[in-house]
Structure 1
Amino acid sequence: MTETAPPLLEIEGLTFGFRNQSANLVDGVSLTLGRNETLCIVGESGCGKSVTALSLMGLLPPDAVRIDSGTVTFEGETIDAGDFARLSRLRGDRMAMIFQEPMTSLNPAFRIGNQITEAVRHHRGGTEAEARERALEALEKVGIPAARQRLDEYPHQLSGGMRQRVMIAMALVNDPSVLIADEPTTALDVTVQAQILDLIADLQTRSGMGAILITHDLGVVAQVATRVAVMYAGRIVEIGTAQEIFEDPQHPYTIGLMSSVPRLTGPRQRLSTVPGLVPTPDGMPEGCRFSTRCPFARPTCREVPKLAPVAGEHHVACHYAPLETRLEAG
Structure 2
Amino acid sequence: MQTDIRTPTPNLLPQLTHARNPGMVLDLDWVASVQANTSAIERRAATLGGRRSVKKEYQAAWLLKAISLIDLTTLSGDDTPGRVQRLCAKARQPVRAEMLQTLGVPNLTVGAVCVYHDMVETAVRALEGSTIPVAAVSTGFPAGLSPWHLRLAEIGESVKVGAKEIDIVISRRHVLTGNWQALYDEMREMRAACGAAHVKAILATGELQTLRNVARASLVCMMAGADFIKTSTGKEAVNATLPVSLTMIRAIRDYEARTGFKVGYKPAGGISKAKDALLYLALMKDELGHPWLQPELFRFGASSLLGDIERQLEHYLTGHYSAANRHAMG
TM-score, with length taken from structure 1: 0.35
TM-score, with length taken from structure 2: 0.35
Structure ranking higher in helix proportion: 2
Structure ranking higher in strand proportion: 1
| Higher gyration radius (CA) | 1
